[in-house]
Amino acid sequence: MKKKIVVLTGAGMSAESGISTFRDSNGLWENHDIMEVASPEGWQNNPALVLDFYNKRRAQLKEVKPNRGHEILVELEQQFEVQIITQNVDNLHERAGNTNILHLHGELVKVRGEFSENESMYWEDDIYIGDKNNKGEQLRPDIVWFGEAVPAIDKAIPIMQQTDIVIIIGTSLQVYPAAGLMHYAKSNVPVYYIDPNPASIYDLPNQLEVLAMSASVGLEKIQLQLQ
Ligand SMILES: NC(=O)c1ccc[n+]([C@@H]2O[C@H](COP(=O)([O-])OP(=O)(O)OC[C@H]3O[C@@H](n4cnc5c(N)ncnc54)[C@H](O)[C@@H]3O)[C@@H](O)[C@H]2O)c1
């Protein structure tokens, strides 16, 4: 039976594809205060601005492609059962070709009615004020905003409890509950953390290897190590 690897990815995973992270730019996401474009309050204050922001992010997906790091995660499937758990809302893991991907914070290519969090639909185009679902609710991106529940965490925890290896990539580990997920791994499971500017990790009983480098370079090293 193949060993299981859980890969927890954050915005840094997509940095080499040209998608910016937000904590690298003073807490701004593409020049916006994060609460303006990624919170229920921001949506209430200015829904047109929020829709426009995500329309631009969705359009950007058509101009970027998976990077070498994404490709290595696909190659690892030859030897391991790989489960990606991503905080990213882009679709680069899917486009690279990984089989098992869980999005913790939603997806840019999905929309839902503003009051129907469990009914999302695939959507590649722009969304405008006045675009509605079949219940007459305004459409919004199917993204988990700050202050909203993270329902996918209930699937992520048991996956983490059963894994043999954990690889964490490109995350500042400041957004919970995602940042706490590694603590569900069994204590004999090795944890690798790739990030050029890694956060401090405390109170983890596991063997921890920090690779302070980009996702693609760090993954090349881990791929060799795991062979
Ligand atoms: N691509 C996306 O989908 C995207 C982009 C920006 C923000 N977000 C959202 O914002 C939240 C941000 O939290 P977060 O912790 O994921 O991101 P973050 O912006 O807080 O942190 C990004 C991390 O990536 C690291 N990094 C930068 N370049 C890297 C590289 N080449 N290789 C590896 N790591 C690199 C940084 O050092 C930093 O620690 C997430 O919930 C996510 O949904 C998503």
Residues 185 and 220 occupy one common structural domain:
yes
DSSP state letter for 21? P
Q: What is the pLDDT of residue 24?
A: 63
Cβ of residue 171 lying under 6 Å from some atom of ligand 1: yes
pLDDT digit of tens for each residue in the chain (227 aa)? Answer: 999 999 999 999 999 999 988 766 666 777 888 899 999 999 999 999 999 999 999 999 999 999 999 999 999 999 999 999 999 999 999 999 999 999 999 999 999 999 999 999 999 999 999 999 999 999 999 999 999 999 999 999 999 999 999 999 999 999 999 999 999 999 999 999 999 999 999 899 999 999 999 999 999 999 999 98
- CATH code, domain with 133: 3.30.1600
Residues 220 and 128 occupy one common structural domain:
no
Known catalytic residue: 105?
A: yes
Residues 82 and 135 occupy one common structural domain:
no
Please list, residue by residue across 74-96, b when 16 or more beta carbons sit within 10 angstroms of its beta carbon and e when fewer do.
Answer: bebeeebbbbbbbbbbbbbbbeb
Residues 49 and 153 occupy one common structural domain:
no
Cβ of residue 170 lying under 6 Å from some atom of ligand 1: yes
Residues 133 and 195 occupy one common structural domain:
no
Q: What is the pLDDT of residue 182?
A: 98
Residues 51 and 129 occupy one common structural domain:
yes
Residues 118 and 188 occupy one common structural domain:
no
Of 127, 143, 159, the domain-final residue: 143
Cα of 187 vs centre of ligand 1, distance in Å, is 26
Residues 186 and 212 occupy one common structural domain:
yes
Residue-range definition of the domain harbouring residue 41: 20-63+112-143
Q: What is the pLDDT of residue 25?
A: 61
Residues 9 and 99 occupy one common structural domain:
yes
> Can you say how many angstroms the Cα of residue 165 is from the centroid of all Cα atoms in its chain?
19
Tell me if 7 sits within 8 A of 104, measured CB to CB.
no
Amino acid occupying residue 146: F
Number of domains in the chain: 2
Tell me if 53 sits within 8 A of 30, measured CB to CB.
yes
Residues 133 and 202 occupy one common structural domain:
no
Of 143, 164, 199, the domain-final residue: 143
Of 143, 162, 191, the domain-final residue: 143
How many angstroms separate the Cα of 211 from the Cα of each of 78, 160, 202, 220? Answer: 23, 21, 16, 11
How far is 42 from 55, CA to CA, in rounded Å?
16
Compute the Cα dihedral for 35, 37, 38, 40 and give only its sign: positive
How far is 149 from 204, CA to CA, in rounded Å?
25
Q: What is the pLDDT of residue 26?
A: 67
Three-class SS of residue 189?
coil
Query: Which of ligand 1's atoms lies nearest the C-alpha of 172?
Result: 39
